[in-house]
Amino acid sequence: MANKNQKNNNICGGLYTKKVLETFKNPHNYGKIKNASGIGKVGNIVCGDVMWLYIKVDKSEKIKDIKFETFGCVAAISTSSIITDLAKGKTIKEALKITKDNIITSLGGLPSIKYHCSVLAVDALVEAVYDYFLKSKKEVPADLQKKHEIIQKSKEIIEKRYKKWIK
Amino acid sequence: MKNIYLDYAATTPIDKRVLKAMEPYFSIKFGNTMSLHSFGQEAKLALENSRQVLADVINADLNEIIFTGSATESNNLALKGVTLALRKAKATAGHGHIIISSIEHPCIIESAKWLKKQGFQITEVPVDKYGLVNPEDVKNAITNKTILVSIIHASNEIGTIEPIAEIGKFCRNAGVCFHTDASQSFGKIPIDVKKMNIDLLTASSHKIYGPKGAGLLYVKKGIILEPILHGGGQENGLRGSTINVPAIVGFAKATEICQKEMVKEALRLSKLRNKLIREVLKIKNSHLNGPPPLKATARQSHPKKRLANNANFSFDFVEGESLLMQLDMEGIACSTGSACSSFKLEPSHVLLATGLKPQEAHGSLRVSLGRFTTEKEINQLTKVLPKIVKKIREISPYGK
């Protein structure tokens, strides 16, 4: 499947798939959630992509509702929409298993230059779940803590790279 | 509704009159200009007639026009050709110094970067918030090592028309070669290489309803160039390659038409463009990038500092690629300076040079009008744009 997507990308010369464009045109689950259980905020407006992901988690730790707000390109909006579809109804444990490749596959492929948008969506979900643990004063699992730290670290690297622009 | 094309600064469709002029040169008058027989002579005649048209339009001499395959090639030839020839001539004098502006087209910037690797020094003169180069800055940047100044005539992104004649004068006085990239201005505003003190000038065919694959470099008599394409001696040995006769014939025809219709067309386009600007700026938190347009009058048919066909906007809290694609889904084609739409993932260097923050450049939209643009099309754009901007802002975490 991944190979097939790759091939399609090459044929289109890195343009968007039909599924990406459809998702972009009619994104699902955008907006805010009041009293969200957790909010994940990733990206930087200077770089051109910002994704905020809101989750509402019920007692059985299922993601009952999920919404996004995104400033960004076609790929960023599509990956935001797709991750809400993929995560909705899953337990947080299951939701954290969603990978960038799941997102890319669900979109029928992404131009390789836009892969970072799928990473951004995964990171936003990780951060939202992390925020849920903090807010509900539960102990953060070790692997989630690690993921959170990696995201924060890469954020620092990006901000360093764009230092001349970020004031 | 038919798709609406508002990206004429990217490229233009060939005018039917141009296509008709080109047609015989594909299959009937197909000769090689370097052949001595009648087929070759026929092609050679077409080439030289075209050269004459283009020379006349910019007040140059016949043998001062070199045809190339594109404006990119012309710009490469200008920068590399002049500097490498001078280095050869002054082999012992060390490497030279080149001045460009901060809003040049990538083919100038990349050529300059390459020359830097070869040991040349590069200075980038800044622009003001409207994208204007101050000629005094160029004058002050010139040192005794400066061998070439290259400043764009009109910006492809924000339409700013640079004070080329004044810059040229400073260069002439300092004995420095002066090149201008007129890809966007040629055919749209008058150019006189003598009056404007221009030593080298780049022009392009496909920006003015001619075919792709033809460009020119004006080289003032006495300026020595080192060729880039070595070959069979075409274009005075400065550009080896079989002459692309149909494209050049088309280039000349396109130029003739533009020249004839220039004043009327600039007046028509600036009126449409100004209407567009008035309407678009009614959208909340929208801004015009580049110089403010002057009111078009019959006497002042083109604004002094902005191309008549260019408008460039920024919308706060909106990302340009999304905007572009939403417009495309409505059948309207424009362009953006957003990082997300560039292969380098960097926002437009031109907009940044005018002092815009990256997030403002991300939200930019270039609308470039042309010969086939109608008022109805502009109305359609101003009708759908506010809705699209609103929708994107609804999805965005900012600006509510």
Closest-CA distance of chain A to residue B205, Å: 26
Active site residues of B: 340
- Any idea of the CA torsion for A22, B328, B389, B279, to the nearest 10 degrees? -160
Q: Are residues B174 and B51 in the same domain?
A: yes
Listed residues B199, B223, B255: the one ending a domain: B255
CB pair distance less than 8 Å for A77 and B395? yes
Q: Are residues B374 and B237 in the same domain?
A: no
What pLDDT score does A12 carry?
Answer: 41
Residues of B in contact with A77 (CB under 8 A): 322, 395
Q: Are residues B231 and B327 in the same domain?
A: no
Q: What is the DSSP string of A106-126?
A: HTT---GGGHHHHHHHHHHHH
Mean pLDDT of A45-72: 94
Res. B7: pLDDT tops 70: yes
Mean pLDDT of A59-82: 96
Listed residues B255, B284, B309: the one ending a domain: B255
CB pair distance less than 8 Å for A48 and B317? no
What pLDDT score does B293 carry?
Answer: 78
Q: Are residues B233 and B345 in the same domain?
A: no
Res. A38: pLDDT tops 90: yes
pLDDT in tens, B316-340: 999 999 999 999 999 999 999 887 7
Residue B400 counted as domain residue: no
**Domain coverage including residue B343:** 4-11+262-395
pLDDT in tens, B262-313: 999 999 999 999 999 999 999 999 999 999 876 655 444 444 689 999 999 9
Q: Are residues B334 and B206 in the same domain?
A: no
Residue A43 region by backbone torsions, left for phi larger than 0, else alpha for psi between -120 and 50, else beta: left
C-alpha pair distances (Å), B344 with each of A45, A114, A132, A143, B315: 17, 11, 36, 33, 22
Residues of B in contact with A75 (CB under 8 A): 340
Q: Are residues B250 and B266 in the same domain?
A: no
> Would you tell me which CATH number, out of the four given (3.50.30.30, 1.50.10.100, 3.90.1010.10, 3.40.50.10440), belongs to the domain A2-161?
3.90.1010.10
How high does pLDDT run on average in chain B? 94
CB pair distance less than 8 Å for A69 and B362? no
A interface mutation test: which of B285, B314, B318, B319 has the most A CBs within 10 A? B319
Give which of B290, B285, B280, B302 is closest to B354, Cα–Cα. Answer: B290
Residues of B in contact with A72 (CB under 8 A): 319, 322, 340
Cα distance between residue A50 and residue A130, in whole Å: 18
Considering chain B, what percentage of its residues have pLDDT values greater than 70? Answer: 94
CB pair distance less than 8 Å for A72 and B319? yes
What pLDDT score does A155 carry?
Answer: 84
Q: Are residues B193 and B315 in the same domain?
A: no
3-state secondary structure (DSSP) of residue B24: helix
B interface mutation test: which of A17, A33, A45, A80 has the most B CBs within 10 A? A45
Q: Are residues B288 and B319 in the same domain?
A: yes
Q: What is the CATH number of the domain that holds B70?
A: 3.40.640.10
CB pair distance less than 8 Å for B329 and A76? no
Provide the β-strand partners of residue A50. A43, A71
Closest-CA distance of chain A to residue B320, Å: 7
Q: Are residues B286 and B378 in the same domain?
A: yes
Per-residue pLDDT band for B398 (boundaries 50, 70, 90) equals confident
Secondary element (H or E) of residue A160: helix A142-161
Please name the residue of chain A whose CA is at the shortest distance from the CA of residue B392. Answer: A71
CB pair distance less than 8 Å for A69 and B395? yes
3-state secondary structure (DSSP) of residue B196: coil
What's the complex ipTM? 0.86
What pLDDT score does B88 carry?
Answer: 75
CB pair distance less than 8 Å for B319 and A52? no
Please name the residue of chain B whose CA is at the shortest distance from the CA of residue A67. Answer: B395
Residue B144 identity: N
Q: Looking at the partner chain, which of B343, B359, B395 has a beta carbon nearest the beta carbon of A70? A: B395
pLDDT in tens, B20-76: 999 999 999 999 999 999 999 999 999 999 999 999 999 999 999 999 999 999 999
Listed residues B217, B238, B255: the one ending a domain: B255
Mean pLDDT of B190-217: 98
